[in-house]
Structure 1
C-alpha cells in the first residue's frame, strides 16, 4: 500500500472526509509521531504498537567487496513494537 492508497482508504472510511483533508490528517499524524520519537519520547497507540528511539553503538564491520575492516559510527534508530491487536490481525 502506498501513501496515496492509505489516504484514499482514510477518506473512504470517514463519512464526508475529503481526500485533501485525509492527507492533511495523515501528514499531521506522521509529523507528530516523528517529532515525539525524535525528542526521545515513547509513543504508544494501544492495539497498534509502540514507537521509540533506540541507539546502535559504534562497531567494526567489513567491506564485503575488499574485506577491509571499517568503523561504523554510532547511530540513533527507530524501534517499533507491534501491539497485540496488530499481531493478531497478522496471524489470522
Structure 2
C-alpha cells in the first residue's frame, strides 16, 4: 500500500466513524506521525503504535565482514538501527 492509498483508507475509515477528515488533514497527520517517531527514536525512546507494534533502537556492534567481490576482510562499524516488534493483535489479524 502506498502513501496515497493509506491516506484514502484513513479518510474512508474516519467517514464510517462519523468523522469527516480531509485528505489534506490525513496527510498532515501521517507526516507528523513520521516526524514524531523519528525524533523519539533519535533520542533513544521506544515508540508504541497501538494495535501495530513497537519501534525501538537496536545497537549493532562493530564486526568483521567480507567484501563479496574481492573476498577481503573488512571492519563494519558499529551502528544503530530501528527494530519493529509486531503486536499480538496484528499477528492474530494477519493469521486469520
**Would you call these one fold, judging by a TM-score over 0.5?**
yes
Distance of 2:70 and 2:4 partners within structure 1: 42
SS of 2:26's partner is: helix
1:88 aligns with 2:92: yes
Shift of 1:12: 1.4
Residues 1-92 of structure 1: matches in 2 within 5 Å? 1-15=1-15, 16-92=20-96
Shift of 1:42: 1.1
Distance of 2:4 and 2:73 partners within structure 1: 42
Distance of 2:71 and 2:85 partners within structure 1: 35
Count of matched residue positions in the alignment of Structure 1 and Structure 2 = 92
Q: Which runs of 4+ in 1 moved over 4 A?
A: none
Gaps (5+ residues) in structure 2? none
Distance of 1:29 and 1:45 partners within structure 2: 10
Distance of 2:26 and 2:50 partners within structure 1: 22
**TM-score, normalization: structure 2?**
0.89
